Amino acid sequence: MYDIKLQGITKKFDAFTAVNDINFTIPKSSVTVLLGPSGCGKTTLMRMIAGLENPTEGRILFDDHDVTDVSTRRRNIGMVFQYPVIYRGTSVRKNLELPLLSEKLSKAEMDKRVDEVAEILGLQDVLKRQVEELDNGTRQKIAVGREVARQPKIILFDEPITNIDLTSKLELKRSLKELFGRLKQTIVYVTHDQTEAMTLADQIALMQDGVITQCDSPKEIYENPNSQFAGWFLGNPGMNFVPPQFINVSGSKITSPLFSQTIDFGSKAASADTFGVRAEGINVSTTETKGGVQARVTRKSIGAGGQYLLDLAVGSLLIKARVSHSIGRTAKDAVWTSIESENITFFDKSGKAL
Ligand code: ATP
């Protein structure tokens, strides 16, 4: 399989720079998700990897083979788009077979490949059905299966779940997760949906304004965002940010009315402007605790796994805490909060993690 090396990749549309000097290697045989808000340049970057768009500057290498000027057709890649690309008026099996015809495979090899992808994607029972009879999610599975069966070295997915109806979305996401676990190909997957990225990625390349701002495993990027942007964009809800008026710095020591301990942050303390804490990093007690900070519950909602999300007001500051079912159920107007130092990330004025 190939890794994909992006060397100084820039794409300009007239005076507008959509992708700005990206230097990045997408490792082979892994799932890399390009994640970011609308307009950050993810699709443009993917289209350049596919050869559908030429970079204004820079080179693209598959392993050590420079493909910058190689046509899409000759790059040996598979592509799955937002809307399923399928042949109407034919069966699911025919749809999966058609792209294999040009590969000049034996009938036995062709059947093997079709049956394999059908099994992974849960399409065995509909192989004889006409594609028109099937829902959008199943059609997208067929589109995925068609690309996978060809066994290209790289497969690109451009928001394949975005336009699938809600009922089929979860099932399709589950199938893709199962598929990616079994594929050896290099997968590049574009989405603006952080939950999708967290579920499917081996590594997330987070993009903002045409650049990759952080690339790490989902766990690492969630737990150790390198910027306020990453802390905010990953997670549902995103990280809480506590502004400068709640932080006191004296030499290397940082205190805050939000936490009872003093944090020694060494020489970096002077740059600490804001701190971030995840909703699950806030301890909540329904009885008064020593050193705890009193907060008012302004809203309660029950979420995944029976956990509660509490909207809390600490004076003028609004924060969100994720708590167990028992705490959430019994939390009334007043609760007491505390934050352990290991759950705190400090950021400087520019939003960079310290
Ligand atoms: P979305 O999720 O909304 O598709 P994206 O992160 O994939 O967003 P791109 O589609 O790559 O973003 O677009 C990046 C920027 O480049 C956007 O501001 C877009 O308007 C601009 N852009 C993309 N293609 C063109 C084009 N052909 N001509 C001019 N501007 C373009």
| 73-82 pLDDT tens trace | 999 999 999 9
DSSP assignment letter at 341: G
How high is the pLDDT of residue 186?
A: 96
Strand residues in 185-279 grouped as ranges (E)? 186-191, 203-208, 211-216, 240-242, 248-250, 253-256, 259-264, 274-277
Give yes or no for a contact between 298 and 340, defined as CB atoms under 8 angstroms apart: no
Helix (H) or strand (E) holding 44: helix 42-50
**Mean predicted confidence (pLDDT) in 322-342:** 93
| Distance (Å) from CA 17 to ligand 1 centroid | 10
Query: Which tens digit of pLDDT belongs to each residue from 158-204?
Result: 999 998 888 889 889 999 999 999 988 999 999 999 999 999 999 99
* Separation of alpha carbons 214 and 231, rounded Å: 11
Quickly state the pLDDT bin for 51 (edges 50, 70, 90).
Answer: very high
Peptide bond into 237 cis (omega under 30): yes
* Closest CA to ligand 1's atom 27: 13
Q: Where are the alpha helices (DSSP H) in 183-296?
A: 194-200, 218-223, 228-233
Query: Which tens digit of pLDDT belongs to each residue from 257-282?
Result: 898 889 999 999 999 999 999 999 99
The answer, yes or no, to whether residue 38 has pLDDT greater than 80, is yes
Quickly state the pLDDT bin for 84 (edges 50, 70, 90).
Answer: confident
As a dihedral over the C-alpha atoms of residue 264, residue 270, residue 274, residue 279, rounded to 10 degrees, the angle is -20
Quickly state the pLDDT bin for 1 (edges 50, 70, 90).
Answer: confident
How high is the pLDDT of residue 103?
A: 83
* Closest CA to ligand 1's atom 25: 13
How high is the pLDDT of residue 303?
A: 81
Which tokens hold the place of 322?
């994720």
| Distance (Å) from CA 30 to ligand 1 centroid | 25
The answer, yes or no, to whether residue 304 has pLDDT greater than 80, is no
Neighbouring residues of 261: CB distance < 8 A, sequence distance ≥ 6? 291, 341
The answer, yes or no, to whether residue 147 has pLDDT greater than 90, is yes
Quickly state the pLDDT bin for 57 (edges 50, 70, 90).
Answer: very high
Quickly state the pLDDT bin for 290 (edges 50, 70, 90).
Answer: confident
DSSP secondary structure string for all residues of 309-323: EEEEEETTEEEEEEE
How high is the pLDDT of residue 228?
A: 98
The answer, yes or no, to whether residue 4 has pLDDT greater than 90, is yes
Give yes or no for a contact between 62 and 16, defined as CB atoms under 8 angstroms apart: no
Query: CB atoms < 10 A from the CB of 338, how many?
Result: 18
How high is the pLDDT of residue 168?
A: 87
Quickly state the pLDDT bin for 21 (edges 50, 70, 90).
Answer: very high
* Closest CA to ligand 1's atom 21: 18
Q: Where are the alpha helices (DSSP H) in 70-216?
A: 92-97, 107-121, 136-149, 166-182, 194-200
* Separation of alpha carbons 311 and 246, rounded Å: 18
Quickly state the pLDDT bin for 102 (edges 50, 70, 90).
Answer: confident
What ligand 1 atom has the least distance to the C-alpha of 47?
Answer: 11
How high is the pLDDT of residue 61?
A: 98
What ligand 1 atom has the least distance to the C-alpha of 14?
Answer: 29
Which tokens hold the place of 70?
């190689």
* Separation of alpha carbons 209 and 111, rounded Å: 45
**Mean predicted confidence (pLDDT) in 100-117:** 91
Whole-number average pLDDT of the chain: 94
| Distance (Å) from CA 134 to ligand 1 centroid | 32
Task: Please report how the helices 136-149 and 166-182 are oriented relative to each other, as an axis angle in degrees rounded to 10.
Answer: 20
| Of the candidates 55, 51, 75, the residue with the CA atom closest to the CA atom of residue 63 | 75
How high is the pLDDT of residue 291?
A: 85
| Of the candidates 219, 267, 258, the residue with the CA atom closest to the CA atom of residue 340 | 258
**Mean predicted confidence (pLDDT) in 323-341:** 93
